[in-house]
Amino acid sequence: MAAKKIDPIINVEDDGLIIPEVGAWGEKKYKLVGGYCDIFTTGMRYKWGKLVYIDLFSGSGYARIKDTNKIVKSSALISLSSFRYSALWFSASINSALVSQPAADFKLSNS
């Protein structure tokens, strides 16, 4: 049985915080990022003990699609959603400190 593929376009509600606006190209980019993360984490899950994701320009995590009312998760949160296996996730943007946390709800092994 094949693993269920993620849908990288994840609509979210406005949380009242600043959300950058992106063009319609944003949805295409987010599909590519999500697809790549899914393929990579699935293919490499047995290669190393842990996977590490680093996004130094991750932004707010949400994006508003220009000329629509759509708010979707952006690259940082899409990548975090796709890491279904043991992984460590680092994220930072120009206006924030580095954030480090286990990806999804998976416990990191001590190996």
**52-87 confidence digits (pLDDT tens):** 777 777 778 899 999 998 999 998 888 877 766 555
Widest CA span of the chain, in angstroms? 48
Question: Which residue in 62, 6, 3 sits closest to 32, CA to CA?
Answer: 6
Domain ranges of the chain: 21-102
Number of H helices and E strands in the chain, helices first, is 2, 6
- What was the pLDDT predicted at 44? 80
Identify the band that residue 95 occupies on the pLDDT scale cut at 50, 70 and 90. low
First-to-last CA distance in the chain?
29
Q: 3-class secondary structure for 48-94?
A: CCCEEEEECCCCCCEEEECCCCCEEECHHHHHHHHCCCCEEEEECCC
Q: For 8-49, how does the pLDDT look when each residue is reduced to its tens digit (9 = 90+)?
A: 788 889 989 889 999 999 999 999 988 888 888 888 878 877
